[in-house]
Chain A
Amino acid sequence: MADEITPQPVDELTTDLLARFPGAVQPAPAPWQGLIVTRDRLVEVAIHLRDALGYRYLSSVTGVDYPAATDGLPPRFEAVYHFYRPTGGPLVLHVHADRADPTIPSLTPVFPSAGFQEREAWDLMGIRFDGHPDLRRILLWEGFDGHPLRKDYHEAYYEEDKKPFESRFPDGHPVRAEERVPLGNNLRYPPGWSPREWRPVADVWGYAPHDEVAQQKSPTHPADRLVLNMGPHHPSTHGVLRLLVTVEGETIQKIEPVMGFLHRCHDKIGERNTWLANMPYTDRLDYVCSMTNNLAYAVAMEKLLSVEVPERAEYIRVIMSEFTRFMNHTVSIGFTGNDVGIYFTAMLYALEERERILDLFEMVSGSRMMCNYMRFGGVAHDMTDQALTLARQLAFERLPRFVDKLDDFLTDNEIFRARTVGVGVLPADVAVAYGCTGPLLRASGVPYDIRRAEPYSIYDQFDFDVVTGENGDVYDRYLVRIGEMRQSLRILQQALDRLPGGPVISSKPKATLKAPAGESYGRIECPKGELGFYLVSDGGTNPYRYHVRSPSFVNLAVMDTMCRGHLIADVVMILASIDITLGEVDR
């Protein structure tokens, strides 16, 4: 994302935009940030932001439902866009749409990174994006009844809008949700719906776009085209991802990730929970690195609450995040090994180290995987001496040896190189346009790391390099991961040497705290890329809107670009090199 445009303060930028688009752009009223743009000029404003002002990176697109008038604004659906440039904070655009007919022009032709996120907003919120090339449901399925993130959508087990529910323990006895609903199950059908007369939607599994491609005959290749399904149960999809592949012979013509098989309704449940009760849920987003998920949510909340974090807590956060990054990259390389054909050999080495790091996490948080360790304004527990000893031993002795060993085994391995060099090349401009982040983006040669570009926590105090690749292929992504593991160790060694004393949390955590009305977008560089939490508060004890911008989900959009022309066996390599976790893709 290197460009020559000098950053200007956002105030000047606002004035500039106001002058350039009179009547179409206005500053958002007090608790909200950024600008409100009218629907008809949105695409023009976005093009101006991208081409003239250097906001080439559309990070997050989401929708918010306001069924009642608030702050002098009418009842509306709102699409919220977060733009970034390499240096400088976010530019937030709000676009309002009528509640009766929510239509907003699509930004996908201008910013391809909006593609999946707009589909998600259509699926869950029911905002129709005009001009989107492929506006289908993405997490749920065609034919699903309703748009669940709307405030008036109530699921089968609906009790109240806010937790804790009053009815949970009448007379001190728990009530099972199944006992309250007539079907005894989490099912809800539209009134008058009869299963005997019902016919499924013709293309409920989404084959139609592929059938079109499959029917074109190749002039050069006599083989027929064939539509293949990989997954959702497939050993190399790292979970329940489904890949719809059109092949000619064994060459990929079109590939489309189909997700939602692990859609656990994070956003909807998050809006019911109290602010703090969402913390353990964030663990289960990207279940390989729960610590960084905690951190991202804590960072977003601290922006909203304006809480200071004690220095020792910041150091512990950095230590835990870097151990998480190390662990994630080891496991990722181990899984890549599985897919390249060294079945479980690399994995055994990787999991060995993972166990050591999990021991440390268990010491500090009490749980191996789902740490639930960060709090707003600090961390839950201090690191004990025992934990510090283990952390020092890992960071200074064991893990550096392990990286060297992994490097020795794989980097110059002839077979590994034959399978990875030149496979799945992702050009830098495509990576930026599709909003890729993390090792995937850096391997394409773009030195964009949020720890450096917009330092959160205390990352500005550490000495580390942003590792980049050159060719953007699977091999470079592997090299970037190895390099980042070394950099993580560098940060860890500095942090452990300089760890100050003092408290680890600014105030006693309250179970029901109230956040001031407003919005905040907290983002961190999690091991897989940019993890962002978009939170809207109406001043209550629960989030009004809780949205997760997950790197795995957005990064998946480049699958098609990277896989075309390669073989089926390469698809699993390319997928492994993106490094996705399905809990985070589907949320």
Chain B
Amino acid sequence: MPRKRQLPEIPPDLVGTVHVTPIDQIYNWARKRSLWPIFFGLACCAIEMVATAAARFDLSRFGMEIMRASPRQADLMMITGTVTKKMAPQVVRIYNQMPQPKYVLAMGACAISGGPFKEGYNVVSGVDKLIPVDVYIPGCPPRPEALLHGILTIHARMEHESLRTMRWYRKGEADEGVPVPELGPDLVDWRLIEKIEALQPQPTATE
């Protein structure tokens, strides 16, 4: 939280009607209570995400019952399942299309590290190899309660953000997005290009 400031005094006849609060608090309160997740199911965990949205666990208690299909209207991306190399370009592209501020929640072992399928030739070792992740929820699949806890963790994180320090409100810091990987002989992540080239003089090293 920013340093403590003196709040203006409320005239006696308005006490109880008017509340004075720092802008950060009211802004974050509104923001966290209207997270709009993207309806983005990858694998098994997506079924648990749907179960969380349904009657027993009732995601709408937290102000997020409407899942948007379009990334342009969403600010929370739940990576619910294994990210494969074939899917990686789309995952990154969808992330880039979301407006800021945006949050990413890696749900389940596969999204965290590749999980039980880590050694697979078509599996990305965790979605954080591609895009920044805010909250990780372990489990295979995590129970709906765990997903709710993950969402509350994001809420807690949002509470502590300040308008003055959030990077997306700074001037001149336009979001470039993550470079979209391409499908070559393997997944081509353009951020690793130097590393790949450095390996090439000893081609046996990649084997």
CA distance A479 to B84 in the complex (A): 36
| Residue A415 at the chain B interface, CB threshold 8 Å | no
Q: Mark A219-262, 1 if CB is under 8 A from B, else 0.
A: 00000000000001111000110000000000000000000111
A187 at interface by CB-CB < 8 Å: yes
Q: Which of B41, B117, B184, B203 contacts A143 (CB 8 A)?
A: B184
Query: Which residues of A150-186 have CB atoms within 8 Å of chain B's CB atoms?
Result: 153-159, 177-178, 182-186
Report if A309 contacts B (CB, 8 A).
no
Residue among A155, A235, A240 making CB contact with B42, cutoff 8 Å: A240
Chain B residue numbers with a CB within 8 Å of A262 are 42-43, 81-82, 84, 87
Q: In whole angstroms, how far apart are the Cα atoms of A190 and B42 in the complex?
A: 29
Specify which of A139, A141, A348 is in contact with B183 (CB 8 Å cutoff).
A141
* In contact, A284 and B44 (Cβ under 8 angstroms): yes
**A256-294 interface (Cβ within 8 A of B):** 260-265, 268-269, 272, 280-281, 284, 287-288
Q: Is the CB of B121 within 8 A of A347?
A: no
Q: Please indicate the chain A residues that have their CB under 8 angstroms from the CB of B200 in the complex.
A: 191-194
B121 touches A369 (CB 8 A): no
Stretch of A67-75, A79-87, A196-204, A456-464 at the chain-chain interface: A196-204
Interface 9-residue window, one of B4-12, B15-23, B148-156, B187-195: B187-195
Question: Are B183's CB and A261's CB within 8 A?
Answer: no
- Find out whether the CB atom of A264 lies under 8 angstroms from the CB atom of B123: yes
Across-interface contacts of A284 in B (CB, < 8 A) = 43-44, 116
> What total of chain A residues lie within 8 Å of the partner, measured CB to CB?
67
* A310 within 8 Å of B (CB atoms): no
Q: Closest CB-CB distance, A490 to chain B, in whole Å?
A: 27
Residue contact A269 to B117, C-beta cutoff 8 Å: yes
- When C-beta atoms are compared, the residue in chain A nearest to B48 turns out to be A369
Given contacts A186-B118, A351-B51, contact A145 B186 (CB under 8 A): yes
Contacts of B40 in A (CB 8 A): 233
Which chain B positions have C-beta within 8 A of A182?
195, 199, 205-206
How many angstroms from the CA of A148 to the CA of B119 in the assembled complex? 12
Q: Contact mask B14-46 → A, CB, 8 Å, 1/0?
A: 000000000000000000000000011111101
Question: CB < 8 Å: which of A177, A188, A204 contacts B125?
Answer: A177
Task: Give complex CA distance A108, B37 in Å.
Answer: 43
In the bound complex, residues from chain B placing their C-beta under 8 Å from that of A296 are none
- Indicate whether B162 reaches chain A with its CB closer than 8 angstroms: no
Contact with B along A343-371 (1 / 0, CB 8 A): 01001100110110000000000001110
Chain B residue, CB-CB nearest to A157 = B119
Chain A residues with CB under 8 Å of B82's CB are 262, 264
A188-B206 contact, Cβ under 8 Å, with A143-B184, A240-B42, A265-B123: yes
In the complex, the chain B residue whose C-beta lies closest to that of A204 is B183
Partner of B43, one of A143, A145, A232, A583: A583
User: Is B87 in contact with A191, judged by CB distance below 8 angstroms?
Assistant: no
Cα-based distance from A182 to B194 in the complex (angstroms):
12
Q: Decide yes or no whether A195 CB sits under 8 A from chain B.
A: yes
- Docked CA distance A370–B81 (Å): 14
CA–CA, A272 and B119, complex, Å: 10
CA of A137 to CA of B184 in the docked complex: distance in angstroms? 14
Contact B44 A140 (CB under 8 A): no
Give the tally of cross-chain contacts (CB within 8 A): 191
Say whether A143 contacts B185, CB under 8 Å. Answer: yes
**Number of chain B residues close to chain A: CB under 8 A:** 60
Asked whether A348 and B185 contact (CB < 8 A) given A182-B206, A268-B120, A284-B116, the answer is: no
Which of B55, B86, B94, B120 makes the CB contact (< 8 A) with A269?
A: B120
Q: Does A144 contact B (CB under 8 A)?
A: yes
Interface centre among A186, A232, A352, A370 (most CB of B within 10 A): A186
Task: Report whether A370 and B141 are in contact in the complex, using a CB–CB cutoff of 8 Å.
Answer: yes
The residue of chain B having its C-beta at the shortest distance from the C-beta of A359 within the complex is: B56
Nearest CB to that of A260 among chain B residues? B86
- What residues on A are CB-neighbors of B197 within 8 Å? 194-196
Tell me if B90 counts as interface (CB < 8 A to partner A). yes
B122 nearest CB across to chain A (Å) = 5
Measured between beta carbons, the chain A residues less than 8 angstroms from B190 are 195
A263-B86, A370-B140 are known contacts. Are A235 and B69 too (CB-CB below 8 A)?
yes
For residue A582, CB closer than 8 A to chain B, the reply is yes
For the complex, what is the distance from the CA of A534 to the CA of B120, rounded to whole Å?
Answer: 20
Find out whether the CB atom of A240 lies under 8 angstroms from the CB atom of B186.
no
For residue A173, give the distance in angstroms from its CB to the closest CB of chain B. 17
B121 engages A155 (CB within 8 Å): yes
In the complex, what's the smallest C-beta–C-beta distance from B52 to chain A, in angstroms?
Answer: 10
Which B residues lie within 8 Å of A196 (CB)?
193, 197
Q: Are B182 and A239 in contact (CB under 8 A)?
A: no
Does B86 contact A200, Cβ atoms closer than 8 Å?
no
**In contact, B182 and A189 (Cβ under 8 angstroms):** no
A140 partner residues in chain B, CB cutoff 8 A: 86, 122
Residues in A with CB closer than 8 Å to B56 are 351-352, 355
Residues from 150 to 207 in B contacting A, C-beta threshold 8 Å: 182-190, 192-193, 195-197, 199-200, 203-207
Cα(A195)–Cα(B206), bound, Å: 14
- Tell me the bound Cα distance from A148 to B123 in angstroms: 13
On whether A177 and B42 interact (CB within 8 A), knowing A185-B129, A188-B206, the answer reads no
Q: Would you call B84 and A264 a contact (CB within 8 A)?
A: yes
A397-B51 Cα distance, complex, nearest whole Å: 23
- From known contacts A265-B122, A348-B55, infer whether A287 and B47 are also in contact, taking CB-CB under 8 Å: yes
Are A186 and B114 neighbours in the complex by a CB distance under 8 Å? yes
Q: For window 427-461 of chain A, which residues contact chain B by CB distance below 8 Å?
A: none
**Considering the chains assembled together, what is the distance between the CA atoms of A348 and B57 in angstroms?**
11
Distance, CA A178 to CA B117, complexed state (A): 14
Query: Considering the chains assembled together, what is the distance between the CA atoms of A154 and B204 in angstroms?
Result: 13
Interface pairs A-B: 3 shortest CB-CB:
A191-B203, A265-B120, A145-B185
What are 5 A-B contacts defined by CB distance under 8 Å?
Answer: A187-B186, A233-B90, A262-B42, A262-B84, A355-B56
